[in-house]
A and B are shown apart, each in its own frame.
Chain A
Amino acid sequence: MRLVRLFRSPEAISGLVILGLLGAMALAAPWLFPRDPLSIAGPPLLRPFQDWALPLGTDRLGRDVVAGLFHGARTSLAVGLAAAAASILVGSVVGTAAGFAGGFVDEVLMRITDAFQTVPGFLLSLALVSVIGPSLGVVVVAIALSSWTGPARIARAEVLSIRERDYVASARVIGMHPVEIALREVLPNALPPVLALSSVIVAAAILTEAALSFLGLGDPNRVTWGGMISEGRAVLRSAPFLSIIPGIALVLAVLGVYLAGEGVVESSAAREGQA
């Protein structure tokens, strides 16, 4: 029932198709382009569609743009998904616990959240990556550390509002255990707004990685779309394709993640409406 609904929305379908394609690109990269995507494959700054061995041209050093795009799909998606998963998991657990338990627990958890939130997230990532040095794992941790507070806040706000509602009150009246209420009644109802945020967080993670690369804090041993864009920035006007091509990939990925996420949320909301 739910799946059928998911496939009825054109947005959800296009989102899933985009994600599927990008996922396939990511998986196929090592077979299609077995060489290191950072290796020099041809003359530098070759424009797209000139040489069919290098269909999208080459960058400043003569590295193959297509190979970079495929391998970049791997790292960019991995960074985005890993960071988002970590921050949503941590955030929604903290938020639900705080909102539902209330009192002292809420106080402590929210103070910690506040402390993280008062530090500008990007600044925290920037400082952390500068300190430990740019590698993929550090970038993921840095992004997650700076973005878990959003889901936590939203989850808490939702829980606060839901726990006053009738069905929670009636569950309390019939003597349900608080943890059971939290897990069975509150969390599922609090989750949709948090998930609605999840696509934004994946996007933010991919974009944060790009911004870090822009400031010279990307992992130099791996290709990412963000890294490609910031490399192409120096020649933005003489060879715009170098930043536009990975830029399009980035926009597509974000759109795909978002639309698919939206579809899931809407179909589950519709199911609920029916029930």
Chain B
Amino acid sequence: MAGFEISRRKVLAGSAFLLASTALPSFGWTQEKKGGRLVVAADSEPRNLNPAIVASNGVFFISSKVVEPLAEASFDGKDGLAPRLATSWEGSDDGLSVTFKLREGVTWHDGKPFTSADVAYSALSVWKPLQNLGRVVFKDLEAVETPDDHTAVFKFSRPTPFQLIRNALPALTSVVPKHIYEGTDIAANPANNAPVGTGPFKFAEHKPGEYYRLERNDNYWGEGEPQLDEIIYRVLPDRAAAAGALEAEEIQLAAFSAVPLADLDRISKVPGIKVIPEGYEALTYQLVVEINHRRKELADAKVRQAIAHAIDRDFVVKTIFLGYAKPSTGPVPQNDKQFYTADVATYAFDVAKANALLDEAGYPRGDNGKRFSLKLLPAPYFNETRQFGDYLRQALAEVGIDAELVNNDSAAHQKAVYTDHAFDLAVAPPVFRGDPAISTTILVQSGIADGVPFSNQGGYKNADLDALIAKAAETIDPAARIGLYKDFQKKVTEDLPLINVAEWGFITVARDNVKNVANNPRWAVSNWADTYVET
């Protein structure tokens, strides 16, 4: 990708580097590559940094270095997992218990030993009652038995698929210290803003509006880890700031596409900077058109199919995502190895067919060429969701649907779409978290209370689909469960409760001297124990 021509710029940059390196004090050349300070861009400051309560990528980005889960995603590990605080895990055949063997010799950052009591406490007092995702996955968790300090046995009141628990390990099982949280108001504990964990880095300080600083944990259990002395998250709220900061060497790494996609082609040619599209395989975001089925026109499957035919997915991928995405076929992304099936109903880009379907549905064009008007609310969270909103308005105009764009900020969007249902179409970016039961089925399932973000708030109700989801939730046998979710994908694409348009991972841009980047499928939100800066 990067073209390496010798340019004046490169020569200039090279000489600047020479100057810089002679000016620096003796950075032990003889020593191994350990040490160094990594400065990365952060675009927001989460209100709560406790990943056991808030399982979201914005929180993980910082706190995953401090607080560890039982297991992390891995490119080559068994079932796509690598051990962290748990060394092994096994489910019983009846789906009523899961046994974890825990790592020995691990201590918390305050020096106290890590034991099975911490896992039991986290599971029962935090993940199950308080965590946004854990409330669903661990809803039937009844007890955690701790026969010894390094064994934890999860007991479920109803059969719970071991496959689901396994897939949930990286994101849902951050373990927090019992001795700090027990007997306090967990949600208001000061450790939520200055987390204490077992990870390779300790939380050092947060200067609001400026930076977070993490420092090396000398007592980390990993052999020879961590390599870095320090990680600094520089708060750069402006979307255009990260690219300049990388070039000026004020930061060394920008994850989560902090450098706008449209700027990647240029920056990939800047000497000393690399563009890395890997490391987000298990963090797939999906571009979805949410539909309000309370609207008479949209309750008609033909209209929904027409809209699906009106969208040129290749254009979206090529122009809005500049190729850093894939067209979607259905609710499970193609890069998921367990559940994905291509055997679903598809909707090729076909304006003529879309027009014909709309005519058929009984919505002919009026004198002004318009069939009906809609309110379109693109989610404000990403550049791409807004740009897709702009595109969708034009695509709908081609088939005679007049869409009015309404741009809201986050709070107003949340209220309008998920609480008040004051929308016709909305553009949403839900995340696929390795198992459809974690955050995907909720997008189409009926009976969800108002106000829940990233859930079915479009008033869609399909008894067959609900039954299928319920059945899959209690099916223990992995193969049978996968079969049910393949049916699920088929049904969703046939009936189109929502329209999946594209799926994307983010892009990391880093200086060349940052090593061991993107070496697992959740890299940006993993612990960075082996990452280092070459000096």
Interface residues of A, count at CB 8 A: 24
> Does residue A220 face the partner (Cβ distance < 8 Å to B)?
yes
State A218–B390 Cα separation when bound (angstroms): 13
In this complex, what residue of A is CB-closest to B378? A220
From A10-18, A33-41, A191-199, A257-265, give the one contacting chain B. A33-41
From A49-57, A70-78, A81-89, A231-239, give the one contacting chain B. A231-239
Distance in angstroms from A129 CB to nearest chain B CB is: 10
Distance in angstroms from A65 CB to nearest chain B CB is: 15
- Chain B window 245-288, contacts with chain A (Cβ cutoff 8 Å), 1 for yes, 0 for no: 00000000000000010110110000000000000000000000
Given that A44-B319, A216-B380, A235-B260 are contacting pairs, would A61 and B390 also be in contact in the complex, using a CB cutoff of 8 Å? yes
For B239, give its contact among A134, A221, A234, A239 (CB under 8 Å): A234
Distance in angstroms from B73 CB to nearest chain A CB is: 30
> Quick check: B407 and A134 within 8 Å, CB to CB?
yes
> Quick check: B409 and A233 within 8 Å, CB to CB?
no
For B394, give its contact among A38, A218, A234 (CB under 8 Å): A38
> Does residue A5 face the partner (Cβ distance < 8 Å to B)?
no
- Chain A window 19-49, contacts with chain B (Cβ cutoff 8 Å), 1 for yes, 0 for no: 0000000000000000010111000110000
Question: What's the dominant secondary structure at chain B's contact region?
Answer: helix
Distance in angstroms from A142 CB to nearest chain B CB is: 14
> Does residue A60 face the partner (Cβ distance < 8 Å to B)?
yes
- Contacts between the two chains (Cβ within 8 Å), count: 62
> Quick check: A220 and B266 within 8 Å, CB to CB?
no
> Does residue A130 face the partner (Cβ distance < 8 Å to B)?
yes
Distance in angstroms from A85 CB to nearest chain B CB is: 26
Question: What's the dominant secondary structure at chain A's contact region?
Answer: loop
State A184–B383 Cα separation when bound (angstroms): 55
> Quick check: B320 and A61 within 8 Å, CB to CB?
yes
> Quick check: A238 and B262 within 8 Å, CB to CB?
yes
> Quick check: B397 and A39 within 8 Å, CB to CB?
yes
> Quick check: B397 and A36 within 8 Å, CB to CB?
yes
> Does residue A247 face the partner (Cβ distance < 8 Å to B)?
no
> Does residue B352 face the partner (Cβ distance < 8 Å to A)?
no
> Does residue A133 face the partner (Cβ distance < 8 Å to B)?
yes
CB-defined contacts of B266 to chain A, threshold 8 Å: 237-238
> Does residue B480 face the partner (Cβ distance < 8 Å to A)?
no
For B319, give its contact among A61, A134, A218, A238 (CB under 8 Å): A61
- Chain B window 292-335, contacts with chain A (Cβ cutoff 8 Å), 1 for yes, 0 for no: 00000000000000000000000000011000000000000000
Q: Give 6 closest A-B pairs by Cβ, nearest first.
A: A220-B405, A238-B266, A234-B260, A235-B262, A220-B407, A44-B319
A-B contact pairs, 28 of them (CB 8 A): A36-B394, A36-B397, A38-B390, A38-B394, A39-B394, A45-B262, A60-B262, A60-B387, A61-B391, A133-B406, A133-B408, A133-B412, A134-B407, A217-B407, A218-B407, A220-B389, A220-B390, A221-B393, A221-B405, A234-B240, A234-B260, A235-B260, A235-B263, A237-B263, A237-B266, A238-B262, A238-B263, A239-B262
